[in-house]
Structure 1
Amino acid sequence: MLVLLPGREKSLLRRHVWIFSGAVAALEGEAAPGETVVVTDSKRRFLARAAWSPESQLAARIWSFDPEETIDAAFFRRRIENAVEYRKFLGLDAPEGGCRLIHSEGDALPGLIVDRYGEYLVVQFLSTGVEHFRAEIVAALQAATGAKGIYERSDVGVRAKEGLPERSGLLAGAEPPNPLVITENGAKFAVDVRHGQKSGFYFDQRDSRRAVREFAAGRRVLNAFSYTGGFGVAAALAGAEHVVNIDSSAPALKLARHNMEMNRIPPERYENREADVFGELRRFAEEGRKFDLVVLDPPKFIESQRALTRGCRAYQDIARLGFGLLAPGGLLFNFSCSGLMTPELFQKITADAAVEAGVRGRLVRHLEQAPDHPTALAVPEGFYLKGLVTRI
């Protein structure tokens, strides 16, 4: 039994699913990492059942607030079937497509990430709770989806905070081809699920890529931090005059070229540059080069509260460089995937960047993570991706 300190049950009563170590009064009895414990308030009244994680700052993650619900194989079948049904509701069940099939707290399965690439699933077990039930989860995924193969990509540093080693490899069924090819909004994308970032592709930017297609026709497009060229492909297919993809990863740019070729984009209409993005954008500015649409989709600059000030400066610097490269009437698409960055702060940073660049901007649109990356109402921390479209 996990007993909380007096008053520390308030967030659970609002159905938040995290229990930090500082809220714990005592663990009565024994529990191995990942095992299910009953959580009570200081007066031993039932609150929830949770996964125990003694080495993490997040000491427990709630599975269920229902006192009658048992955490077993049937529990995971129900939760996974519910997640699959939600993606069908969203219209993301096309066999040749892909999506985020399970999004951790957003699907009431804290620590579990599952991406679907056609007939294959890529799984990340990011907490002791889902690690403890990995066999039950894999079986439930097979039953709910009929996946041809399930591949693990738990090779991420966050597992160390849970006292877990990194691991990857085939879990069930057939090995996925390399690369896998999926279709999104009429575009084809090759994905390296074994070595690519995260599980290989950023489904959370699906709606933002669609937004780029709305505005890209006839424009000179700069796609910075391009990874495998998703925004560049979207712009080219929409009729962009020319696309420049910039990334520091040669393997990512190799896939970006392949993606352009698969979508029959003539080589004279795009250019891939392997370079440090900050340095390359400064060089473009020195050369007086201009673009009509700039996409800035950088990695997470803010990993912790201590990094907030430094990360904000980095977001502001890159936005200032982006604004400075725009021709009159140009559009800046800039993003932050840092959960600690609030929408209000991100807009302020972008506004300050425009002032520094000497331009006046009109906010055209707010963008956010695609709906297959849901945010649970009681867990606002799940809302992490912020984007702005600004016209100068």
Structure 2
Amino acid sequence: MKQERPYPKVTISPKAEASVRHGHPWIYGEEILQIEGEPQNGGLVDVVAGKTFLGTGFYNSISKIAVRLISRNANDVFDHRFWRRRVEYALRYRKTVMPGADFTCCRLVHGEADQMPGLTVDRFGSILSVQNTCLGMEQIKDTLYHALWDALTEMGETVIGIYERNDIGLRTREGLAEYKGWYRSDTIPAPASTVTEIQENGVRYLVDVEKGQKTGFFLDQKYNRAAVARLARGKRVLDCFTYSGSFGLNAALGGAAHVTCVDISQAAIDLAKANAALNGLDGKMDFLCADVFDLLTELAEGKCRDYDFIILDPPAFTKSRKTVQAAARGYKEINLKAMKLLPRGGYLATCSCSHFITDDLFRKILAKAARNSAKSLRQIEARQQAPDHPILWNVPETDYLKFYIFQVV
């Protein structure tokens, strides 16, 4: 570095240097060899290897991830203009990949994939729902929120409020408090209700940004749900782990003969019922509060042949490498039972949303389930998350959703 830098400096290990040079933005605490100056948690530090500048990032000694890089350019100045440019870049990308009405209901910021570490911003019509797990980003949230508000307004988009869904345990590992509620400022108001209505693929949903899962609604399966709808005409559909009923609703609107939605949560079943009524689909759908594992076992043992299209959209069975094998057994069990239930010529849509279940492992799980069920799988589509949840090839953690549609033959 030729000029004097205003930030403390951390020197990292050769292993970390290789990772950073390959484009990964995280540096773990054990990879820091030396610290010059007095970095503040949530403040900026320069990252170096020897005398070579590698980037600037947010520092946090409390976190396992000690530095999250935000820039690799020594000329960047991290003021409001810097963050406004970054926000605008993210919004322009969504305008391109989520055109038309899709832009009104999509993920606007996807953390590291948008070089805004730990930050998630989902748009549900006129409400933004925000979740953050990075201390440095928390400390500049006023700048970020006003940049989002102003940029969207200048694009002609209507936004009436920003709701913070920071009620997740992961924040405590970063030294952040858990909370949720409307963000308030002199120029950003707080709406009266946390419930809003959205439309996705022609399906209407009620979304509660205060009580819904994650930020209120799962947006990453948008186009996968549309793919299911295209195959659903005339089918008898079993939608497992339905939550808000989204896959089942898409199948019903796609012309399914009948749809049964199953979830272990009565609150989820009530939400799915309300969404069915909102779309005038009460007569084409029924709802069952049950454990999917138990239900599939019961149906398989009873040699049930009521369904010719089964959808499996389970929650992540693992969130760490330590439990991958147990999760793999769970994925195999539900897919094996679904394949046994389906007649030859039936259809299966199945997915995993865990980053730790790699695509290669998931394919092996499905192949083993098919062998054990004495069925073959004819692949129709292999899909991932929608493009508003972008995947950076140099950041494997951004690649998490595997989605397959098969005909069982």
Mapped pair 1:106 → 2:106: no
Matches within 5 A, 1:208-223: 208-223=224-239
Select which of 126, 130, 149 maps to 1:123: 130
Which residue is equivalent to 1:285? Answer: 300
Shift of the 332–259 alpha-carbon distance from structure 1 to 2, 3 Å rule, reads same
Select which of 151, 159, 172 maps to 1:160: 172
Report the TM-score when normalising by structure 2: 0.92
Q: Is the 8 A contact 1:50 1:61 kept in 2?
A: yes
> Relative to structure 2, which stretch is displaced further, 3-12 or 241-250?
3-12
Report the TM-score when normalising by structure 1: 0.96
Mapped pair 1:268 → 2:283: yes
CA distance in 2, matches of 1:356, 1:168: 46
Gaps of 5+ in 2: 1-8, 154-158
Which residue is equivalent to 1:149? Answer: 161
Which residue is equivalent to 2:6? Answer: none
Q: Is the 8 A contact 2:111 2:118 kept in 1?
A: yes
Q: Is the 8 A contact 1:39 1:47 kept in 2?
A: yes
- In structure 2, the residue corresponding to 1:233 is in which secondary structure? helix
Q: Is the 8 A contact 1:305 1:340 kept in 2?
A: yes
CA distance in 1, matches of 2:107, 2:262: 26
Mapped pair 1:251 → 2:259: no
Select which of 17, 31, 53 maps to 2:25: 17
- In structure 2, the residue corresponding to 1:198 is in which secondary structure? coil
CA distance in 1, matches of 2:174, 2:166: 12
Q: Is the 8 A contact 1:105 1:375 kept in 2?
A: no
Select which of 218, 231, 252 maps to 1:236: 252
Corresponding letter in the other structure for 2:48: T
Which residue is equivalent to 1:169? Answer: 181
Q: Give the Å deviation of 1:53.
A: 1.6
Which residue is equivalent to 1:94? Answer: 101
Mapped pair 1:34 → 2:42: yes
Mapped pair 1:374 → 2:381: no
RMSD between aligned residues: 1.5
Mapped pair 1:70 → 2:86: no
Note the alpha carbon deviations across 1:219-271, whole angstroms, 9 max, x for none: 00011000000001000001101111111122221121111111111x33211
Q: Give the Å deviation of 1:11.
A: 1.5
Q: Is the 8 A contact 1:227 1:247 kept in 2?
A: yes
Shift of the 7–325 alpha-carbon distance from structure 1 to 2, 3 Å rule, reads closer
Select which of 1, 4, 14 maps to 2:12: 4
CA distance in 2, matches of 1:348, 1:49: 40
Mapped pair 1:47 → 2:54: yes
Q: Is the 8 A contact 2:237 2:308 kept in 1?
A: yes
Which residue is equivalent to 1:226? Answer: 242
Note the alpha carbon deviations across 1:22-80, whole angstroms, 9 max, x for none: 21112222222211111111x23211000112122211111000000122222211111
- Percent identity over the alignment is 39
Select which of 377, 385, 388 maps to 2:401: 385
Note the alpha carbon deviations across 1:346-388, whole angstroms, 9 max, x for none: 1110111112222122122101100000012321221100011
- In structure 1, the residue corresponding to 2:38 is in which secondary structure? coil
CA distance in 2, matches of 1:23, 1:176: 47
